[in-house]
Structure 1
Amino acid sequence: MIYHQLALNVPLYSLLTYAHPTALPAGTRVAVRFRKRLVAAIVWESNVQPKIDINKILPIETILSEDWQLPADWRALLSFTARYYHYPLGQAVMAALPKGLRQPEAVPLPHQELMYTLSTSGRLQPPPPARFHKQHALWQCLQSAPVTLQQLKAKHTQATNYLNQWQQQGWVQAKPVPVCGSIPASPYQLNQQQQHASTLIQAKFGQFAPFLLYGITGSGKTEVYFDIMAKVLQQGRQVLFLLPEINLTPQLMQRVRQRFPSTVTVILHSQTAAGQRTSNYLQAALGQAALVIGTRLAVFTPMHNLGLIVVDEEHDYSFKQESELRYQARDLAVWRAQQINCPIVLGSATPSLESWYKAQQGAYQLLQLSERAHASAQLPQIHLLDIRRLPLDNGLSDVIKQKLQANFANGGLSMIYLNRRGFAPALFCTACGHIFGCPNCSAKMVLHQHAGQLRCHHCDFHQRIPHCCPECGNQDLTAVGQGTQRIEEYLQHLLPDARILRVDRDNTAHRHDWAAIYSKIMQRQIDILVGTQMLAKGHDFPHLNLVVVLNADNSLYSADFRAPERLFAELMQVSGRAGRANYKGEVWVQTRQPEHKVYQALSTQNYVTFATAELAERQELCMPPFSHMAAIRADAKTMREAQELLRQALQGIEQQQSLPTSVSTFGPVPMLMARLAGYERAQIFLESKNRRDLHHSITIWHSWLQHLEKIYPHTRWLIDVDPLEM
């Protein structure tokens, strides 16, 4: 028997040994028994020397992929990911695979699409009689140019039968569809800055070169991406395009189809049907797709001929996975580009301070687009409206109401930006002050008036709206604050003739919802948009000319040191939606702190000023990017139990093996969201300027936490490297 190391979806930090009569190539999918259950596994290494009694080694039961294996560079990427994020390799491997490949079943490999045309002998044959008009149309179609089966089926539902018949007679021939056909010339003329950026990136094809493309909103970063992508695709290489949100996909795909109509493109994100996602994944891995567009998980897509990686909106926090394998897709994309020697382009109007700092230090090459791509487009005028002494009607000042009314009368498109979905953030008893909180989380229940529910947006607990206060019996319950539903309802009374559309997670839950919303906006069937941060990210609404921001001040009270950076990026992004074409844009921000540094930098639309000041403050406090962090977290039914596990581990480490002197330890302390889904949460932060020392410390912590698992069986723990959640 030949012994193999396999990666299984189990919470073990070592690979498991299984036997097979022959040596299987690394990367082969197999099915094995684990605790009497049949599970999928990946061969990680063959011909190994077993370290356990060979009589205890189980056999590999089925080979699931004889004709295809997961490639060596993919396995290297997953090995690095598991090491860096201190996560079990088997679980990391399975988290990176689509659902179909995680099952202990064989999956048929997708066949490359064929194109059909008449053969030489077929062209000598007379066409079917014109009275058989569908057959005649099929023949004419085949005669004019190579066509796909889908195109032929549009002419005749029985196209497959006729093709088979004509192929047997030698009249029709089939050839695989080129993965990347001819790419038409772009109708868009790059300006000088865009052309300069594209030229510099093209000069680095075939080598690792990280670029930070910093371009103001509306500066045409996508056209720069497309220009570079066209050159890579023409060389027969593949492109991986990462974007932060699913709702950006429909707009991008529309532009991709126009720019690359003959390029086989696949989409990978969580709303892709499981079977389709597996097929798309395999197409990319087999080289049957030249362009892969996806959200963070797509960074793990195997692509044997990858020539370029693009990470759009690289600053976005959605690139960080906040559960299970807590990876940062942007950082892994950079590692992957270095691994395979290809350029990577990180694009943003508000780069993350980590990326900006690396550009300032020379680790990334900085490329700037400082003017809007559309010749007549100008940056919007930003107005800070001090509402400390202004009366508000459902959260809106008189100035804002007048602006909305005037813009509607003039036929403009307005956007109300409020990062709070639901009707109101809280329900309040006017008699005793009771606020309805979630029984499972340290958070208020959000009022969803239309659904007749109070909901927790953290654990999804919900209940019917109560008729009275549970503490004093008072029936006078008041909705406190504004959510998108409340603003939508109020605007329908303020502007009864306006076509108002709310865009948040409550009405974009299904796969095609955003595409329908986007279509309505582009066809000018909407007068006022009301929405959350879903509207702020990367969308291009050419006729949007008025943006109103409500309740942004809430972010300034956060204890998270990244809160100012997040708020500034959020406001700059949402402001950038206005005035992108021939329409002059205005942005009005209601605030009670107009003198705050975030708003002052926003008013001048100067990212560099903000980033410089924020980095100086971070350096003084020795915060990232001037140091590296990890969070050791524990969840238990009580805060005492959660903190006790961390204290015991810390005490053991300090008594028996000291951490490197460069590593500072803070805590244990409750997390900002101290209770979530019924568990109390505590954490300890590790911080160091030396990344190697930090990871050495994490390894020590890891061994102690494993040791204490038996003593605290009901307390869960996890390690979060480079955490974004505080």
Structure 2
Amino acid sequence: MTYEIAISKIPLKKTFFYSSDWELEPGERVLVDFNNRQTVGYVVGLTEPHCGTKPVLERPDGLSFLPTGMIEMVRWASQHFYSPMGQLFDLVIPSFVDEYTEVVVEPTTDLLGLKSLKLKDFLSVYGEETLDTYLKKGLVKLHRFVAMKTPRRRYRDLFVMLNIPLSKAVSLAKKAEEFDVVNYLFSAEGATIERLIEATGVNVERLKKMEEKGLIRFTTVPLFQGFEIKANDLSIPAGQNCGELLVVGGSTEERFRSIYSVLKRIIEEGKSVLYMVPLSSQVPYVMGMIQRSFTADVYAYHGNQSKSQRALAWFNAQKSGAKVFVTTRMGVFLPVRNLGAVVVESDEDESYYQFDEPVYDAVEMARRRAQESRIPIILSSATGRVSDYFNLDRSRIIKIKSERRKIFVIDMRKQTTFVSQELLDQIRSNLEKGNGVLIVVRRKGYAPFVICAVCGHILICPKCDVALSFHRHANLYKCHQCGHIEPAKDICPKCGAQALYPKGYGTERIEKIIRYNFPSARIARIDSDEMNHSQILDRLLEFERGDLDILVGTRVLLHGFGISRIGLIAFLDFDGLLFQPDYNFRVQVFQQLNQGIEMAKGATMVLQSMEVENEVVRHLFTSDTEEFYLKELQKRRDVGYPPYVDLVQVVLESEEPSLGWEIISSCTSSLDGEEIFGPVEHPVFKLRGKYRFHFLIKTKTVERTLSKLDDVLTKLGKKGWRVLVNPPHLW
């Protein structure tokens, strides 16, 4: 038999053919000879016989880990996003699988009188020669047996909760430090290990002993003391429980309540749910809601976990029974065996798009996976994507009614400071009422660039055509594109004057201004570059408990979950996004502003802007999301932009700019019949030491266009190219 095989790790966009006497399963891993070395491959499926094919050397697993529908999802993603199929399969079966399994030699006949043995035990008794002979004769087969190791607890990532009522806990506590822990946990309704140690001085060993006594318990997520499903929550009609649905408006909790009945039915049927969120910092929130709502086991799966924690979720995905997997974009590749539904939270978020190879859009892949598996997919979002309103019938869109918006736009053309007096007055008024304040700033650090007051020279990253940002707390300059850092200095490298000063503002500078104006307020800054998801969550929980008055941060603050203490949410410096050379940025600004409105129910929203007459700003007052999107769709239809066509961005990185221009010009001239814009120098011409050129292709037959492009790139040499299909922003 001849099989189509995708080769692991290689960047080639093609598959290869191998023969085998074994009956192989689709998705199964095999060992093959590729370029004269033994390599892992993945069985895509049976194919027509080919002459001169090499044989499959070994079946390391003896089975496929992939459930129905995933093979076609991977094949489609490879063709649609121009991604190597082998690299996509690598995401389905991560490398850690081999570390948690054992290979077993199983007899296929009773004639040998053998029992199943671990491979290492078989070899120690019978040797490799006997194994080779038995395998060739079909007397034994190799099978990979799941032998999970229990992941070690990472205490710094855990939360601590009281395990028993306060009255019992007080009687059970004997030592002063135990009383301190009990009192703190009761007043705070739980805390992270780090916060508890800081507040009480207790150590981890003492906490372990308190757990043994039954006083406290450790959990991976906060359990949302105030969250509950209400009888009058909006539920989806039974006739709409299948296919694709879009639930828009409201906070994440409100949307979760609206789909609760659907998820409950699926879990009661013994099936699992894949619940995707854009950011790992959002995973604990969703897990907390689910754990309070269902009895099913809940697992997290994202890149900020340890390898053993991801392995725990991955191997449980192979087992039967109702489970919920809360995950980021990588979870679309999680091989859940009995998947009953997919939920995508905040599907408009650009974090779902993987820009690095293998390139893919996790939302589109989730949609494809649901189609192939014939299961429902629910898109849950404050606004949704523009394409959602293009693809879905209006009967498939469930709207959650929003409260009347209290929005103020401050005209910054009349201001001389970064934070207007009107905003300071709003902050002061809310603090006096005991309300919390969120301040969302677009840029990180103290200032987005540094300029010389004498000659006007701006410090540029030596590897990129990007201004260096100033980070005051660490006293360094940093490039947010390549990560280059250097010590801060005040002497201009061009004119030698001691006149460098930071220009503009980021989260650090705004935090400093707020601290100056409100010295008695409890203020914290959230920076995703410096904090892990557990620390971010800890800050948000402190804010909700009332331990913090003001939070300053980037869009990571817009986590989508309602916080009752928010009295004011302010957006600063979003004007720059409105005029980026990208057709999607206006929509992204609208989405982020609406997400803030929906998560801060009843709160006042203040937007500082120099574009008070801009259409995006005006739509916050005058129309709902659907009206805004329908107008946007009309514009896109008139000029031919997604979703009416597919947009392919082709980028070439070259160490020599003249050679790069020659190569990319040859590429575009070879693509006859395609609607091409460019080539031109990329807006960020130099990035990580390489020079970039790009062009765009508009097409209504994207797979045909990509096939033609592949032929051209094969002739030109594929090194240095990046191909992105419908990216949320130009790369």
Separation in structure 1 between the aligned mates of residue 712 and residue 99 of structure 2, nearest angstrom: 33
Verify: 1:673 aligned to 2:671, yes or no: no
Contact 2:30 2:41 survives alignment (8 Å): yes
Alignment of 1:211-610 (within 5 A): 211-217=245-251, 220-260=254-294, 262-287=295-320, 290-359=323-392, 362=393, 365-371=396-402, 378-392=403-417, 395-508=418-531, 510-578=532-600, 580=601, 584-604=602-622, 606-610=624-628
Matches of 1:44 and 1:666, distance apart in 2: 36
State the secondary structure of the residue aligned to 1:576: helix
CA change 1:507–1:605 in 2 (3 A) is farther
- Pairwise CA distance, 1:294: 0.7
Residue 59 (structure 1) aligns with: 57
Secondary structure at 1:388's aligned position in 2?
helix
Give, in whole Å, the separation in 2 of the partners of 1:597 and 1:13: 42
Once residues 149 and 502 of structure 2 are traced to their aligned partners in structure 1, the CA distance between those partners, rounded to angstroms, is 57
CA positional deviation for 1:289: 5.5
Assess if the C-alpha contact under 8 Å between 1:244 and 1:318 holds in 2.
Answer: yes
Distance 1:191 1:640 in 2: 66
Residue by residue, what CA displacement relative to the aligned partner does 1:308-328 show, whole Å, maximum 9, x if unpaired? Answer: 111111111111111102211
Tell me what 1:137 maps to.
none
Shift of 1:17: 5.0
SS at match of 1:382: strand
Distance in 2, Cα, partners of 1:405 & 1:21 = 77
Residue 77 of structure 1 aligns to which amino acid in structure 2?
M
- Structure 2 vs 1, CA of residues 515 and 38 (structure 1 numbering), >3 Å: closer, same or farther? farther
Q: Which residue of 2 aligns with 1:5?
A: 5
Describe how 1:10-25 pairs up with structure 2 within 5 A.
10-17=10-17, 22-25=22-25
User: Which residue of the partner structure matches residue 645 of structure 1?
Assistant: 663
* Separation in structure 2 between the aligned mates of residue 4 and residue 706 of structure 1, nearest angstrom: 21
Comparing 452-461 with 622-631, greater Cα deviation is found at: 622-631
Report the counterpart of residue 66 of structure 2 in structure 1: 70
CA deviation after TM superposition for structure 1 residue 280, in Å: 0.8
Which range moved further: 267-276 or 66-75?
66-75
What is the SS of the residue equivalent to 1:548?
strand
In 1: Cα distance, 2:71 partner to 2:588 partner: 34
Q: 1:352 to 1:69 in 2, by over 3 A?
A: closer
CA deviations on 1:144-176 (whole Å, 9 max, x unpaired) are xxxxxxxxx9999799xxxxxxxxxxxxxxxxx
**In 2: Cα distance, 1:465 partner to 1:381 partner:** 42
Match in the other structure for 1:718: 722
Decide whether aligned partners of structure 1 residues 187 and 700 sit closer, same or farther in structure 2, where only a CA change above 3 A counts: closer
Equivalent position SS for 1:441: coil
Q: How far 1:108 moved relative to its partner?
A: 5.6
C-alpha root-mean-square deviation of aligned residues, in Å? 3.0
- Relative distance call for 1:511 and 1:550 in structure 2 (3 A) is closer
Paired residue for 2:653, among 623, 629, 635?
Answer: 635
Q: CA deviation at 1:18?
A: 5.5
**How far has the Cα of 1:364 moved from its partner?**
7.3
Residue type of the alignment partner of 2:416: P
Gaps of 5+ in 2: 103-143, 151-171, 173-207, 215-226
SS at the partner of 1:423? coil
Question: Contact 2:507–2:552 at 8 Å: present in 1 too?
Answer: yes
Q: 2:184 matched to which residue of 1?
A: none
Q: CA deviation at 1:496?
A: 1.4
Give the letter aligned to residue 529 of structure 1: L
1:109 corresponds to which letter in structure 2?
V
Aligned residue in 1 for 2:192:
none
Q: SS in structure 1 opposite 2:423? A: helix
Match for residue 707 of structure 1 among 715, 726, 731: 715
Give 1:38 deviation, angstroms: 5.6
Distance 1:422 1:683, change over 3 A: same
> Within 2, Cα distance between the matches of 1:5 and 1:607?
45
1:24-103 equivalence runs, <5 A:
24-31=24-31, 34=34, 39-45=39-45, 49-52=49-52, 54=54, 59-60=57-58, 63-66=59-62, 69-101=65-97
Q: In 2, distance between residues paired with 1:284 and 1:648?
A: 47
Say if 2:79 and 2:703, in contact at 8 Å, map to a contact too: no
SS of 1:220's partner is: helix
* Selected match of 2:146 from 109, 133, 138: 109
Q: Deviations over 1:654-676 (max 9, x none)?
A: xxxx43xxx41111122333322
Map of 1:686 onto structure 2: 697
CA deviations on 1:305-352 (whole Å, 9 max, x unpaired) are 222111111111111111102211111111111111122111212121
In 1, Cα distance between equivalents of 2:210 and 2:63: 36
Whole-Å separation in 2 of the counterparts to 1:643 and 1:708: 13
Matched residues, percent identical? 24
Matched AA of 1:719: V
Conservation of the 8 A alpha-carbon contact between 2:240 and 2:396: no
What do the CA deviations read for 1:154-205 (whole angstroms, capped 9, x no partner)?
A: 999799xxxxxxxxxxxxxxxxxxxxxxxxxx9422547x12x354433x3x
Secondary structure of the structure 1 residue equivalent to 2:414? coil
Question: CA distance change for structure 1 residues 200 and 51 in 2, over 3 Å: closer, same or farther?
Answer: same
Tell me the amino acid that sits aligned with residue 654 of structure 2.
A
Structure 1 residues 517 and 664, CA gap change in structure 2 (3 angstroms): same
Match for residue 229 of structure 2 among 177, 188, 196: 188
Distance (whole Å) between structure 1 residues aligned to residue 643 and residue 37 of structure 2:
45
Distance across 2 between alignment mates of 1:45 and 1:599: 52
Residue 32 (structure 1) shift: 5.1
Which residue of structure 1 aligns with residue 116 of structure 2? none
Which contiguous aligned blocks of 4+ residues in structure 1 show a shift greater than 6 angstroms? 1-4, 102-105, 153-159
Per the TM alignment, residue 112 of structure 1 is displaced from its structure 2 partner at its CA by 12
Cα distance in 2 between the residues matched to 1:3 and 1:74: 17
Match in the other structure for 2:240: 201
Amino acid at match of 1:366: I
Equivalent residue in structure 1 for 2:641, among 599, 620, 623: 623
Aligned letter for 2:567? N
Scaled by the length of structure 1, what TM-score is found?
0.80
Find the aligned partners of 2:52 and 2:394 in 1 and give their Cα distance. Answer: 46
Q: Deviations over 1:481-524 (max 9, x none)?
A: 1110111122222211111111121332x352223223212221
Aligned partner letter, 2:704? H
Q: Could you tell me how far apart the structure 2 residues matched to 1:13 and 1:570 are?
A: 36
Mark the CA change 1:50 to 1:596 in structure 2 (over 3 Å): closer, same or farther.
same
Change (3 A) 1:33 1:379: farther
1:686 aligned counterpart, secondary structure: strand
Question: What is the CA-CA distance between 1:302 and the residue it aligns to?
Answer: 1.7
Residue 6 of structure 1: CA displacement? 5.1
- Measure, in 2, the Cα distance between the counterparts of 1:3 and 1:576: 51
